[in-house]
């Protein structure tokens, strides 16, 4: 979300004073001074020091600027910086480097990006075990895991600001006996987009691990419950890792499957408890 904001530039009236001190530099003032929001200032230079700054270039925001609200935090940008390309992960303006597939990552997101396949799988296994602990049982077992490119997850789609992309995928196949319904074999493959920041990778990993569990334990779950459950489990893992701010996206998501589904599952779990939710999904209640 972003919106333009105006600041009054010249609401600073020079006033004649006798013996006052500047609120910024502490210098004694004799003569004219400036007043802004109850603060006494000796010069335009000191006034500039109390102005908000651009989050990217650090220029004082003495005119129009743009406010971005993401993850519960507000960030301010000058008009020039606000027009820069947006980070693929946090969606904030950035002058950071581009990835080979065209995605931009800001320095903050790039600092923890998960690029190494070995590190990625170790982190996924950790989150997979964490999800199993939360839900009280495992999914189909050791799912195959791999990092993949943007094109592999989103064939035929180029990078552009504002577009939505798949960040992870859980593919599941099972064979069952026709007479008893007993599972004869099952195969699960989880793929996650490379170069996601660690906190986002953890969220996506938890979402896909929840799908892995649900595919093994339940059949024919409606899309809203299916994706809502995966988002709800991801929100629990976010909270465990101190990333509650990431759950704001789920809370505010207007998508009828992911957003409404998350709120549906969350409210059911709050009202009846997690064990009852799992029983409902498994068709036991």
Res 6: pLDDT? 42
pLDDT confidence bin for 57, thresholds 50/70/90: very high
172 token code pair: 């599941």
In order of 83, 193, 210, 228, 275, the CA distances from 86 in angstroms are: 9, 18, 30, 27, 41
pLDDT, tens digit (0-9, with 9 covering 90-100), for 11-56 = 454 555 456 888 888 888 877 788 877 788 888 888 888 888 999 9
Q: Which residues of 10-42 are buried (b: 16+ CB within 10 A; e: fewer)?
A: eeeeeeeeeebebbbeeeebeeebbbbeeebbb
pLDDT confidence bin for 178, thresholds 50/70/90: low
Res 193: pLDDT? 97
2-80 folds as: 2.10.110
Is a pLDDT exceeding 60 seen at residue 1?
no
CB 271 within 8 A of CB 232: no
Read off the pLDDT of each residue in 191-220 and give the average, rounded to a whole number.
95
Res 144: pLDDT? 93
Read off the pLDDT of each residue in 66-73 and give the average, rounded to a whole number.
82
Cβ neighbors of 198 (< 8 A, separation 6 or more) are 112, 113, 114, 123
pLDDT, tens digit (0-9, with 9 covering 90-100), for 114-145 = 999 999 999 999 999 999 999 999 887 778 99
CATH 2.10.110 in the chain, residue ranges: 2-80
Res 18: pLDDT? 56
Res 164: pLDDT? 77
């Amino acid at each position: 979300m972003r919106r333009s904001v105006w600041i009054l530039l010249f609401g600073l009236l020079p006033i004649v004073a006798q013996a006052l001190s500047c609120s910024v530099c502490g210098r004694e003032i004799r003569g004219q001074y400036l007043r802004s929001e109850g603060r006494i200032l000796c010069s335009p230079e000191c006034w500039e020091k109390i102005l908000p700054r651009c989050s990217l270039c650090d220029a004082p925001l003495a005119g129009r600027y743009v406010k971005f609200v993401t993850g519960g935090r507000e960030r301010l940008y000058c008009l020039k910086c606000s027009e820069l390309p947006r980070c693929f992960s946090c969606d904030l303006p950035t002058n950071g480097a581009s990835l080979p597939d065209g995605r931009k990552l800001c320095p903050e997101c790039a600092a923890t990006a998960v690029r190494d396949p070995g590190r990625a799988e170790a982190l996924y296994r950790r989150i997979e075990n964490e999800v199993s602990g939360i839900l009280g049982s495992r999914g189909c077992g050791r799912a195959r895991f791999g990092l993949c490119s943007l094109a592999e997850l989103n064939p035929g789609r180029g990078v552009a600001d504002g577009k939505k992309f798949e960040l992870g995928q859980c593919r599941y196949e099972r064979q069952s006996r026709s007479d008893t319904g007993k599972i004869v074999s099952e195969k699960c493959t989880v793929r996650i987009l490379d170069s996601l920041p660690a906190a986002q990778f953890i969220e996506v990993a938890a979402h896909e691990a929840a799908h892995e569990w649900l595919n093994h334990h339940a059949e024919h779950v409606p899309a809203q419950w299916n994706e809502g459950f995966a988002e709800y489990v991801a929100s629990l893992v976010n909270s465990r890792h101190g990333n509650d701010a990431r759950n704001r996206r789920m809370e505010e998501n207007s998508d009828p499957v992911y957003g409404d589904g998350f709120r549906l599952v969350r409210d059911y779990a709050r009202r009846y408890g997690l064990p009852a939710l799992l029983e409902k999904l498994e068709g036991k209640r």
